Amino acid sequence: MRLSKDSPSDQSSIPQPDRHSVLLLVDPQNDFFPGGAMGMPKGNNLIPIINAYIKHFSRQGCPILATRDWHPANHCSFSEQGGAYPTHCVQGSRGAQFHSELVMPPGMMVISKGTDPKKDARSAFEGSSLGDRLEDLNVKTVFVLGPATQDCLKQTALDACKIGLQVVALKDAIGSMDRTGNNLQEISGAGALQATASDLGISSASL
């Protein structure tokens, strides 16, 4: 069953975290939260729910991975270099750090992308070790969240669907400047499910 943005969640149709699942935090970096170079409006409201998901998946014994833009100062995506985006997530900068209020688990695997100054990498699978790491972990289902839907999260989810992974977009922990919901609809159209914390048995008291 494929859930659309406007469909009520049917918990029986949504996979629950198991030993073949991973929680993937896509670019939860300062530059994608309010005050950052590409900050999402009201992005700070996502912090409690993201932390609740981290806690829940940790309790289930599931691996938790985080991707990050890790750009050199002369990256081709920057407007100064003729690219489409303002300078963001420069290696070693505050903007490239994970949001300080996120409670990251010890030993969390971090996947860097966009490290080649001449190549953009909107998907976390592009030019990174993410695919190999998921294969090593024998992952079948990827639960994905992050502050910015329109680029990196969307492309990462689409690529995960393309390689045959089951994708669950945790829509209450995803930020966007797209008020139409088209990005989530595109992800669902590729075969992903949409879910919220309640679908995974996370109580409101945890938020």
Q: Which residues contact 162 (CB under 8 A, 6 or more apart)?
A: 190
Catalytic residue among 62, 89, 152, 161: 152
Half-sphere exposure at residue 94, Cβ-oriented, CA atoms within 13 angstroms: 5
What does pTM read for this prediction? 0.91
Homologous superfamily assigned to 19-201: Isochorismatase-like (3.40.50.850)
Catalytic residue among 113, 120, 172, 199: 113
User: What is the phi/psi pair of residue 65, to 5°?
Assistant: -120, 150
What is the token pair recorded at 38?
A: 């590409």
Q: pLDDT tens for residues 131-169?
A: 999 999 999 999 999 998 778 999 999 999 999 999 999
Q: pLDDT tens for residues 51-106?
A: 999 999 999 999 999 999 999 999 999 999 999 999 999 999 999 999 999 999 99
* Every domain of the chain and the residues it spans: 19-201
Active site residue 116: no
Active site residue 152: yes
Higher-confidence position of 83 and 41: 83
From the list 137, 138, 151, the residue with the least C-alpha distance to 187 is: 151
Active site residue 161: no
Give the 3-state secondary structure of residue 4: coil
